[in-house]
Amino acid sequence: MLSTIFREYDIRGIFEKELNEKTVKLIGYFLGKRVREIGEYVAIGYDARTHSPLLFGYLASGFNKAGVKVLNMGMVPTPVNYFSNYCDFDGIVPNASVMITGSHNPPEYNGFKITIDKKPFFSDDIYALGREVLANKDMHIEDNEEHITIDVKSRYISYMLRSFSHLKGLNAKIAADCGNGVAGIVLEDIFKGLNLDYKGLFCEPDGTFPNHHPDPSEEKNLKSVKEALKTADIGFAYDGDADRIAVLTKKHNFKGDQLAILFARQMKNPVVVGEVKCSQVMYDEINKIGRAVMWKTGHSNLKVKMKEIDADLAAEVSGHIFFADRYYGFDDAIYATLRVLELIKNGMDLDKEIEKLPKVYNTEEIKIKTDEDKKFKIIARLKEFLKNPPADFPKIKDIIDVDGVRVIFENGWGLVRASNTTPVLVMRFEAQSPEDARLYQEKLTELVEKAREEM
């Protein structure tokens, strides 16, 4: 039983080695005690991984021991799990939900994404839960998988068909790569119900992911959808639990911050939250028509910030898109798909809109391995160095430290932050020229290495 499974945004680990019967039952029990403070029902769903149903049984046993009634929605995408929090099942309203998913991790991984009282359960709450579980590791919890079966999937599909009925018969050829995750079990019914012209790729759930890994942020996983785009107009790809999206045309692979610009242009006075990794172009463009707010990376952080400032939209570069405009404010790749198709229906040429944006040069995420106990110390030391940088360091205009360090230079920016989920430092750079981008990367990396050497 390891404390490392209790992460910033969720609980995640290797099945049997870390997420085993004893651990998961205890998680269910002590999480159940928190749910009992506000109610008595928890809705649980799971992804396509082969061990997800087993984890459901362990988790249900823990909740039942705590006196919480389990609502079983079966295999669903994560957004459908979130959606359950807004449903009434013949007078039964969930007080919490747990999604059993390993998301885009390898097949041996699994985990839990938790919502209590419609709010993400994360950070200090998860760490406190972990301490309680570890302190009671000898507690015995008997098997008890008693549950009430609920059908959230049909309600979700019906909601989407009603909300996007205006898309019926859209004149566009669509390719959708579900990567053998769970997106397909709702996406195909929605596309068919809207009479859309689509080709589905790997829509059958298979937790061994036989065709490619379900992580659309990796270019190597987009080969099939790119091939399909030879005859399609628009392509979509999803991660394993369908809360992240990739949108592609023959010309472009649209990142989450680029999509945010396009969506915001369809809103009146939009308020948009972006993570620290988002392009400055996104912030500048949205500030022309509304207000853009930079905040911490992480789906839980963004959901909380959205609610705090009553934002319409939030986005992460990796493809988490959150709509409060006409929706509930959680990250949903299926819903985002339909909003993209709506842009097309409204006459937007996605390629032309992106090509009109200011040209910048940016890097992909650069990851530097370090030790878990050193990563935040390195960031703290880096901040000290930046107060009095070397003579040859590029001129600093500003430093934003909401999440790590985002250094604003004259012609771009560089970011260094500690990952909240893995022992790595994450770096990203953007500039108006490739030469400046390389310079900022070289000089900021030198300071990071100096800070690492002192640890």
Active centre residues (catalytic):
12, 103, 320
**Token code pair at residue 276:** 């620290």
Phi, psi (rounded to 5 degrees) for 274: -125, 155
Pick the closest to residue 25 from 138, 113, 149 (CA basis).
Answer: 138
Radius of gyration (Cα) for the chain, nearest Å? Answer: 22
Separation CA 354–CA 413 (nearest Å) = 20
Dihedral sign from CA coordinates of 52, 56, 58, 59: positive
Closest CA to 71 of 58, 82, 60: 60
**In degrees to the nearest 10, what's the CA dihedral of 47, 304, 293, 315?**
10
- The token pair that represents 331 in the structure block: 């990250």
Residue pointed to by tokens 């019906």:
158
The residue whose two tokens read 């022309």 is 288
Q: Which two tokens stand for residue 34?
A: 């928190």
Match 């390389």 to its residue by tokens: 438
Say if CB 407 and CB 445 are below 8 A apart. no
Q: Write the DSSP assignment of 335-380 as a string of letters.
A: HHHHHHHHHHHTT--HHHHHHTSPP-EE---EEEE--TTTHHHHHH
Nearest CA to 22 out of 74, 49, 61, 78 is that of 61
What is the number of other CB atoms lying within 10 angstroms of the CB of residue 57?
16
Q: Mention every residue, 6+ apart, whose C-beta is less than 8 A from residue 160.
A: 186, 190, 334, 335, 338
What is the layout of strands, in order, in the sheet containing 271-275?
291-295, 271-275, 313-315, 321-323
- Token readout for 354 is 């992106």
Question: Of 81, 86, 85, 93, nearest to 10 (Cα)?
Answer: 81
Structure tokens at 319: 């493809």
Whats the size of the chain, residue-wise?
A: 455
Q: How far is CA 203 from CA 106, 273, 319, in A?
A: 18, 31, 19
Strand partners, 276: none
User: How far is 294 from 296, CA to CA, in rounded Å?
Assistant: 7
